[in-house]
Structure formats: structure tokens, C-alpha cells
Chain A
Amino acid sequence: EAQVTQNPRYLITVTGKKLTVTCSQNMNHEYMSWYRQDPGLGLRQIYYSMNVEVTDKGDVPEGYKVSRKEKRNFPLILESPSPNQTSLYFCASRLLAGPAYEQYFGPGTRLTVT
């Protein structure tokens, strides 16, 4: 089954404790992206990757890191989480060829930083 998976689905952590949210897709998509969703703000892009070893900042990259060492995986790293990073996070992937290919979203990770 073609899908995007994220782990963990729920995470409660404390300020400053490094964490990683994993994202994996099995559709051989070149493009992968991370979004955060906050009430009243819609989805905002954090980072995206056009292919292996190619990453770039989205609209709200502060406090986040990413890496793309393999085509299928795109982990999101919070080196020192803060309460303002409490949010619902979505990973997404799509084909890169052509301008109008559907983005497939993962199930989401709800992060709470206390």
C-alpha cells in the first residue's frame, strides 16, 4: 500500500530534550516536506527536500533541522524543543516531475512540549 508513515504519532516531552520525528514514504517520491499545523494558521511549511542530500527552508524553519540521507526517509529533528513548538506535525511527499502532482500526507504527529 502506497503511504507516508510518521512516528511517533503522539509525543509529550520537556523543554530542551532533543527529539526526532521520523517520516518514511514507499512511493519513490523525490520531494518530501514537513509542515506544522496550528489553530487558525493552517499548515506552514518547515523544511522541504527535492531529493537525497538536497534540503531547504520553508516558511518557519527556526528551531528545526532535517536530513535526507535516503530517498524514502526525511526525519525532523528538534535539537532543543520549546513550548512554542507544541503543534501537530505532518510529513508529505510527492513526485517532482511536473507542477501538479498530489502531495500525500502522513497521519500526523501531535507534539506537546512542557
Chain B
Amino acid sequence: GENVEQHPSTLSVQEGDSAVIKCTYSDSASNYFPWYKQELGKRPQLIIDIRSNVGEKKDQRIAVTLNKTAKHFSLHITETQPEDSAVYFCAYQTYNFNKFYFGSGTKLNVKP
């Protein structure tokens, strides 16, 4: 069945460094790839998303890249800050817009 693999499961970086989280998916017909940030005890919140007809999208310190041929997409956070510490989830939506599949999450710790 469909699934998405997310790596790494934990990531510790120094403040100011960059962080990269990678996801690989199985459904080649997927067309929408959001990334969510979840702080402790809070609900997931969308931080950036990308459609299948775009290879890269950037929003200030956050960028997402998509390689449809290889079926993987990545989240890049530059100039990390302590407030970036959270769990990050990748996800994808099936082609008919109905189902969502989430990665298992990456716990990012930004050390001041």
C-alpha cells in the first residue's frame, strides 16, 4: 500500500546551522506534498507545501524540493533558531485528493 518514509527520526543542530529532512513516497500519482510542524502538546500546523508541477518552493528560511522521478521530497531550514525545535512531518495526498499519508516525524532540536 501507499506509505511515506521519513528520515532522520531525530536531528540535532547548532543554532544558525541548516537542517534537512527527507521523505520518500510510493504513490507516483501523488500531486500535493505538505510539511507540518508540531510543537509539544499542540496540533500540526502547515509550514510549507508544494504541488507536483513545481520542483522547489521557498518561504523565507524554509524551502521544499520535490523530485517526482525519484519520488522524494525534502524540507530545508536555514539559519535555524531555537524556536524551530519541534517535530516535523512530511505528508502527501493521493491523486484523487481523498487520502493523506504522513511520515513518522522528525524531532528537530536546535541548540542555542
Contact = CB atoms under 8 A, between A and B. Distances in A.
Interface stretch (B13-21, B59-67, B68-76, B93-101): B93-101
Interface string A47-75: 01010000010110000000000000000
Nearest to A41: B104
Interface in A68-114: 90, 96, 99-100, 102-103, 105-108
Q: Name B's interface SS.
A: strand
B57 to A, nearest CB: 11
Nearest to B45: A105
A42 B99 contact: no
A40 B104 contact: yes
Interface of A: 31, 33, 35, 40-45, 48, 50, 56, 58-59, 90, 96, 99-100, 102-103, 105-108
